Amino acid sequence: MSTAVILMNLGTPAEPSAPAVRKFLRDFLSDPRVVEIPRLVWLPILHGIILTLRPRRIAPAYAEIWNTGLDGEPVEGAPLLYYTRRQAELLQQHLSRQGTNVRVEYAMTYGDPQLADVVARLQREGFDSFVVFPLYPQYSATTTGSIYDQVARIYRSNRNIPNISLVHDYYRHPLYVRALANSVREHWAKHGAAEKLLLSFHGIPRANVDKGDPYYHQCRQTAEGLAAELGLNEGQWQLCFQSRFGKAEWLQPYTDKTLVEWGKKGVASVDVICPAFAADCLETIEEIAEENRAIFIEAGGGEYRYIPALNLRGDHIEALAGIVEDKLPLQLRLPD
């Protein structure tokens, strides 16, 4: 049996232009897993308003980070795609050094490379077993659920059905929590610990959780595990949710409103980390590192510091390797 591991992340426009952003948003926001509004209501809004206005507004933001990651770090193209590609390369090197006989590739849920294309290419090369690894530590139907849908479509359309297993989540995996804690400790060693540590996760509608999505509970367990690893008491950290969209209630407390409250109270310093993101992207670089800094300071707050995503950290790659090892047959974990 020849096995390949496929890392997966959300995706990105092919270039920082309005047409490319429009195509990406169309694919992303047309997914019923992402937006559960009835199609007859949602699609006219999407095509008549959102895809008309948002691409022209968002494309310049992509242009600002294109070939440039956090704090001006040089990357190739979109940071999310660059970090995911490099994570696959580094994971391949790590597993090969351990004697684990697998191929590591990457794919995107929206945009290129697509999972179906990567699986088809690898099948032509003789691979017949796949571990699909969504880089979403906390499961949500809006993210990992969409990848399950893609796997189901591969099964429906493929006469020679491959053996595919998925990593459902890793929100409590000790190596993942340890890597998060290490990143915070290293940040503190360099800058000193802030008065507050804000753990900001991407939000989803509250109704999704009420219907059974485990995302909120997994985010809370990640946050509590990280706080315990760091030895923080309840007054030193806060779980929040960012990036709400539309008029419906999303998971609370909201990140931006919490920062306004802290600013008004005169909180001297805040460190912000986004544990749900395996790689920095437009959302973390623009919204969290820049926009929310302005929100906090304008409200009267003091110093605001963003702790980068785990990206290419060595302990992050070790965590990914440990999670992969848990999914592989025993014979693939041993040296040849």
Rounded Cα distance between 56 and 298, Å, is 27
Chain centre to alpha carbon of residue 108: 11
pLDDT averaged over the chain? 95
Residue 248: pLDDT over 90: no
Mean pLDDT calculated for residue range 172-179: 98
Rounded Cα distance between 263 and 144, Å, is 35
Task: Give the model's confidence band at 334: pLDDT under 50 very low, under 70 low, under 90 confident, else very high.
Answer: very low
Residue 4: pLDDT over 50: yes
Residue 329: pLDDT over 90: no
Domain 174-307 in the same topology as domain 3-170+314-333:
yes
Mean pLDDT calculated for residue range 103-113: 97
Residue 110: pLDDT over 60: yes
Closest listed residue to residue 323, CA positions, set 182, 135, 152, 150: 135
Tokens representing residue 171 in the block: 């929100």
User: What is the per-residue pLDDT for 180?
Assistant: 98
Residues 6+ apart with CB under 8 A from 155: 161, 164
Residue 335: pLDDT over 80: no
CATH architecture group of domain 174-307: 3-Layer(aba) Sandwich (3.40)
Closest listed residue to residue 85, CA positions, set 68, 107, 58: 107
Mean pLDDT calculated for residue range 189-206: 97
Contact 322, 175 (CB under 8 A): yes
Mean pLDDT calculated for residue range 213-228: 98
Does the annotation list 202 as a binding residue?
yes
User: What is the per-residue pLDDT for 332?
Assistant: 57
Task: Give the model's confidence band at 330: pLDDT under 50 very low, under 70 low, under 90 confident, else very high.
Answer: low
Report CA dihedral (1, 109, 293, 310) to the nearest 10 degrees.
Answer: 0
Rounded Cα distance between 334 and 98, Å, is 8
Residue 106: pLDDT over 90: yes
Instruction: Tell me the per-residue pLDDT of 12-30, one tens digit each, with 9 for 90 and over.
Output: 999 999 999 999 999 999 9
**Which residue, chain included where needed, has tokens 């969409």?**
146
Residues 6+ apart with CB under 8 A from 6: 104, 105, 106, 107, 115, 118, 119, 130, 131, 132, 133
User: What is the per-residue pLDDT for 247?
Assistant: 82
User: What is the per-residue pLDDT for 166?
Assistant: 96
Name the CATH topology of 3-170+314-333. Rossmann fold (3.40.50)
**How long a stretch of residues is the chain?**
336
**What proportions of the chain, in percent to the nearest 5, are helix, strand and coil?**
50, 15, 30
Q: What are phi and psi of 198, to 5 degrees?
A: -105, 120
Does the annotation list 283 as a binding residue?
yes
Mean pLDDT calculated for residue range 30-49: 95
Give me the residue spans of the domains in the chain: 3-170+314-333, 174-307
Residue 326: pLDDT over 70: yes
One-letter amino acid of 63: A
Chain centre to alpha carbon of residue 286: 15
Pairing type for strands 3-11 and 129-134 reads parallel
User: What is the per-residue pLDDT for 109?
Assistant: 98
Task: Give the model's confidence band at 254: pLDDT under 50 very low, under 70 low, under 90 confident, else very high.
Answer: very high
Q: Which residue has the higher pLDDT, 280 or 244?
A: 280
What is the reported pTM?
0.95
Residue 131: pLDDT over 60: yes
Instruction: Tell me the per-residue pLDDT of 255-292, one tens digit each, with 9 for 90 and over.
Output: 999 999 999 999 999 999 999 999 999 999 999 999 99
Mean pLDDT calculated for residue range 139-156: 97
Rounded Cα distance between 302 and 269, Å, is 5
